[in-house]
């Protein structure tokens, strides 16, 4: 791994390591993949306003999420089926997260059970959930996670139906049996045509899920609830009204509604709507430490990293995941120093200029 100099290079290693079906599953977006490209490209249109002659001899990247300390504002996003990337699956990812002193959000669609992940290492972790038509299945997994020591529930709200992922349709993507659901129902679909993941999702997901169901989720767990999949001021306000403990600004890694906005372009709107009442986390397109800084400058408490983690896992297992997190932390530390910010609390809105601000200044 010595020759790898940035996180993006892990993608090519993962492409070589994985069967085409699995690489396409991880890397692909919805339909024309416009939003997939924009999630990354939109960061490039934000520039810095660095401060000089600030004492940056000591840089402190640490922060807290729901009161839990982490070494830097970089968390692991929920992504499905880690065993398709590496035999050790989510347990390898969890060990890397623990070694880097950060929080992993374990996917509802994980290959390993919540108990396996919990027993693999001692760390703070959250569970991401979908609500299935069979509410008892969701309730059971939430209760198992709570018993296993998970610290929060992250409810994904942007999947009443699965987005149209054309690579998975072409590849006839297999939906594997997931161990969390063994004895409850089958998740395995081997399609003769189309995507098995889509076939399973249409059978399982509850498209009637609405704001009233936050109360149902609250009734089955004592854990704090965060909502993942918010892209508008209107929904951010509803989330605050619903009494959730946090928001994740996310377009599902551009895998749901194509031509939805790049998440970094709507982050500030949501942060302003929330007004500091609950933490806002950010998900989508983070590939550099500079991206982490930009998201924090626009009001995020921390960022979630998805695909690069999976690419690191596919390429080099647990060590690959650690390397991805360490690279992002190193780049973030340099960005803080060169911007004149000794701590994350020193990162302010005045440290960045967005494309809109540049355009207005030219008028």
Q: Which residues contribute to the annotated binding site? A: 78-80, 107, 128, 130, 156, 165, 228, 250, 252, 255, 283-287, 306-307
Quote the tokens at residue 286: 């983070």
CA distance 320 to 13: 10
Cite the annotated binding site for FMN by residue number. Answer: 78-80, 107, 128, 130, 156, 228, 250, 283-287, 306-307
Quote the tokens at residue 337: 């120093």
CA distance 247 to 228: 6
CA distance 270 to 231: 7
Does residue 34 have an active-site annotation?
Answer: no
Under 8 Å between Cβ of 351 and 335: no
Q: What phi, psi does 76 have (nearest 5°)?
A: -95, 120
CA distance 102 to 106: 13
**Identified catalytic residue from 82, 86, 252, 351:** 252
Q: CB under 8 Å to 111, separation ≥6 — which residues?
A: 81, 82, 83, 84, 89, 90, 176, 178, 179
Please, what is the angle between helix 289-297 and helix 34-44, to 10°?
80
User: Can you give the length of the chain in residues?
Assistant: 363
Coil vs helix vs strand at 334:
helix
Cite the annotated binding site for glyoxylate by residue number. Answer: 165, 252, 255
CA distance 148 to 144: 6
CA distance 31 to 141: 31
CA distance 200 to 205: 8
C-beta neighbour count of 183 within 10 angstroms: 5
Any idea which residues carry the catalytic annotation? 252
């Amino acid at each position: 791994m010595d020759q790898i100099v940035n996180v993006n290079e892990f993608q090519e290693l993962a492409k070589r390591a994985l069967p085409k079906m699995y690489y396409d599953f991880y890397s692909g977006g919805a339909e024309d993949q416009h939003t997939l490209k924009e999630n990354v490209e939109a960061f490039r249109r934000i520039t810095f306003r660095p401060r000089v002659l600030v004492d940056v001899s000591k840089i402190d990247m640490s922060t807290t999420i729901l009161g839990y300390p982490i070494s830097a504002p970089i968390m692991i996003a929920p992504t499905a089926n880690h065993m398709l990337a590496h035999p050790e699956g989510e347990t390898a990812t969890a060990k890397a997260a623990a070694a880097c002193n950060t929080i992993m959000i374990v996917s509802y669609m994980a290959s390993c059970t919540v108990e396996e992940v919990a027993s693999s290492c001692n760390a703070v972790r959250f569970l991401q959930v979908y609500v299935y038509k069979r509410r008892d299945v969701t309730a059971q997994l939430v209760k198992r996670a709570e018993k296993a020591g998970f610290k929060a529930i992250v409810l994904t709200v942007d999947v009443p139906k699965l987005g149209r992922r054309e690579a998975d349709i072409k590849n006839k993507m297999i939906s594997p049996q997931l161990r969390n659901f063994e004895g409850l129902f089958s998740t395995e679909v081997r399609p003769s045509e189309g995507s098995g993941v889509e076939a399973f999702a249409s059978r399982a997901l509850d498209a009637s899920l609405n704001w009233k169901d936050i109360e149902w989720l609250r009734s089955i767990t004592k854990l704090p609830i965060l909502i993942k999949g918010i892209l508008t001021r209107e929904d951010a306000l509803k989330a605050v009204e619903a009494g959730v403990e946090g928001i994740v600004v996310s377009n599902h890694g551009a895998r749901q509604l194509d031509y939805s906005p790049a998440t970094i372009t709507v982050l500030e709107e949501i942060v302003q709507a929330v007004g500091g009442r609950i933490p806002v986390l950010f998900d989508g397109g983070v590939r550099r430490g500079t991206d982490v800084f930009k998201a924090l400058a626009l009001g995020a408490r921390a960022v979630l990293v998805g695909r690069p983690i999976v690419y690191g896992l596919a390429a080099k297992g647990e060590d690959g995941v650690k390397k991805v997190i360490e690279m992002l932390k190193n780049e973030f530390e340099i960005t803080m120093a060169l911007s004149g910010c000794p701590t994350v609390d020193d990162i302010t809105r005045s440290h960045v200029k967005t494309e809109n601000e540049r355009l207005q200044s030219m008028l």
